[in-house]
Structure 1
Amino acid sequence: MPATTPYQLFDMTLKRREQISPSMVNLTFTANDLDMATTFAPDQRVKLFFPPSDEDSASMAARFADGEDWYSAYKNMAPEARPPMRTYTIRAVRPEQKELDIEFVLHGDTGPASRWASRARPGDALSINAPCIHYTGKAIGCEWRPPASIEHLLLVADETALPAVMGIIEELDARFANAPKPRVQALLEVPLKADCRCIPQWIDAVWLPREETRCCHGERLSRAVRTLALKQSSSPSATSSALAIDIDEEILWDVSAPESDDSFYAWIASESRVCLNIRRYLVDELAVPKRQVSAMGYWREGKAHP
């Protein structure tokens, strides 16, 4: 029977952990009903709920099993009992094995997510609000929408968006395995050289570790974009589009709707201010049509982003 809502709450148990690199860990979860979970795109966003204390469990699905408006009930919970909620990307889902993977950036005890991921061991519990496999409506919680006639792709990401980018690259590699490949440029900023990963050789990937540099977060990304040989539009006045956003108070989330015959598409995800600066360069200085640029602030410097 088709689901009427796109997302469903699941109470999961950590099955195994894999240290991908010094700054990244992949956690594989399982649950009896995880065969009901899916993704709509490789950059699928989900909400994770972390235990409010070392002794407690989030158990969101068990709390709201009767189908009530869980979000309103969640917001009305006492602050000390409310499980911290954070946005993450599903790295992989295997319904037949009832498994789901989430990659975490490890940055110490600076937040509930990194703190939990650093200490989690098999058997520990975590709750997730993820897409339901029986939902047949419009896909939500994902922004990867390249045009059908794509010839040139630009992927720009820091480590928080690396799980999404790796999923996108895997999708592209499978899609164009036996077909003419588009030009794909990927600029990927990570904390350490050891965080760089293997990428298919046909992808033009540039890794930008901050290690042993004095660069601020996102600085190497912003500089690298300006070194690319990107074609400038011949009609800048027709395509320039400034965003009305208070970057100190809001998260940048400017999603494109490319036309099917567009040949260029940029997918940008990093710290919000960095994203805005890169978008401004592409849209305002190079006059790339704004419909061809998706810019998502995955986080904001100095602010928690649920």
Structure 2
Amino acid sequence: MSEQQSKPAVIQAELILKYKKYINPHYIRVTLTGDDVPKFAEVTVGVNNKIFIPPAGVEQVYFPEFDYEKGTWNHPPEALRPIVRTYTHRGIDLERKEMIIDFVAHGDQGPASAWAINARPGDKLGVAMKAKTSHLFPEADWYLLVADATGIPVIAAILEQLPATASGVVFIEVHDKAEEQDLSTKADMQINWLHHPNPGENTVLYDAVRELILPELPTTRFGYVAAEYNAVRDVRQYLRKERGWTLNELYAYAYWTYGITEDGSVQSRQQEQKS
């Protein structure tokens, strides 16, 4: 089987903003629509996607194209090249041809946040995902879910997919009580909201995990950590090095790095995902 055949295809679609709403003061739920939404029918809710934000004054999304003969990407001219960011596939409604993506609204400093804050119905956004069904978590007796605001979409998706037989603990760091969300699950999960006004400047998540009484083997367990780089690193090292959790028992992914732009933190986040 060739490399081209062995890799799942990438679905790309130019979608338009149908409507948006603030879930809380710093969280925007964006609902996109378009005839291509059904192409994503088999993609798992909660997996990463790529969004493509057209530059100012450009009304169309110009996607890069992959040259399979050369094995390289062909990008559009600089003036047309969209800004690419990684987000979470939060939901899909095939009958309505709607796709949901949640954004943390942290001002106009970041291009994705700025787009979500300023976008109006009819504005276009590119979305790309691998055409495959994934599993966010393995079957286990007990789950530990850890996140800051950026990780809420994937944690929410996991909670919605957990079976009623599962149990565990959730720690989510947000600014204050106004930033808490209603999360749905059939599982017996203890959801703890941790408040801190300056994300990234603390060890709130790490401290909470260290204070937690973890189940002992033979109870099967799985942890999912999605937060700022330093928090992810500290929690991962504690669980793996001090508590003996294996690679298969823990998935840790850094969504951002304190004090560094997304472009500047890509390398550290990729290293954290693989470690």
1:267 alignment partner, one of 197, 215, 224: 224
2:167 alignment partner, one of 183, 194, 197: 183
Q: Deviations over 1:71-103 (max 9, x none)?
A: 7112xx444432110000011011222110000
Closer, same or farther: CA 200–38 of 1 in aligned 2, 3 Å: closer
**Which residue of structure 2 aligns with residue 171 of structure 1?**
161
**Which residue of structure 2 aligns with residue 206 of structure 1?**
192
**Which residue of structure 2 aligns with residue 17 of structure 1?**
20
Aligned length: 255
Q: Give the superposition deviation at 1:33.
A: 1.8
- 2:21 is aligned with 1:29: no
**Which residue of structure 2 aligns with residue 88 of structure 1?**
87
Measure the CA separation in 1 of the matches of 2:199 and 2:11: 41
2:196 is matched by which residue type in structure 1?
A: R
2:44 alignment partner, one of 37, 41, 46: 41
Point out the structure with the larger strand share: 2
**Which residue of structure 2 aligns with residue 226 of structure 1?**
210
Measure the CA separation in 1 of the matches of 2:121 and 2:54: 15
Q: Give the superposition deviation at 1:48.
A: 0.3
Q: Deviations over 1:181-228 (max 9, x none)?
A: 2222100011232111223583201001213xx774452111111110
Q: Gapped runs of 5+ residues in structure 2? A: 1-6, 267-275
Closer, same or farther: CA 72–274 of 1 in aligned 2, 3 Å: same
Contact 1:231 1:286 survives alignment (8 Å): no
1:295 alignment partner, one of 248, 252, 256: 252
Q: Give the superposition deviation at 1:57.
A: 3.0
Higher relative contact order (CA 8 A, sep 6+): 1
**Which residue of structure 2 aligns with residue 238 of structure 1?**
none
Closer, same or farther: CA 109–291 of 1 in aligned 2, 3 Å: same
Q: Give the superposition deviation at 1:59.
A: 1.6
What's the C-alpha RMSD, in Å, of the aligned pairs? 2.7
1:285 is matched by which residue type in structure 2?
A: E
Q: What is the SS of the residue equivalent to 2:236?
A: helix
Measure the CA separation in 1 of the matches of 2:250 and 2:135: 11
Measure the CA separation in 2 of the matches of 1:9 and 1:68: 15
Measure the CA separation in 2 of the matches of 1:289 and 1:304: 29
2:262 is matched by which residue type in structure 1?
A: A
Closer, same or farther: CA 108–71 of 1 in aligned 2, 3 Å: farther
Contact 1:49 1:58 survives alignment (8 Å): no
State percent identity of aligned pairs: 28
Measure the CA separation in 2 of the matches of 1:71 and 1:110: 31
Measure the CA separation in 1 of the matches of 2:72 and 2:219: 38
**Which residue of structure 1 aligns with residue 61 of structure 2?**
59
1:85 is matched by which residue type in structure 2?
A: V
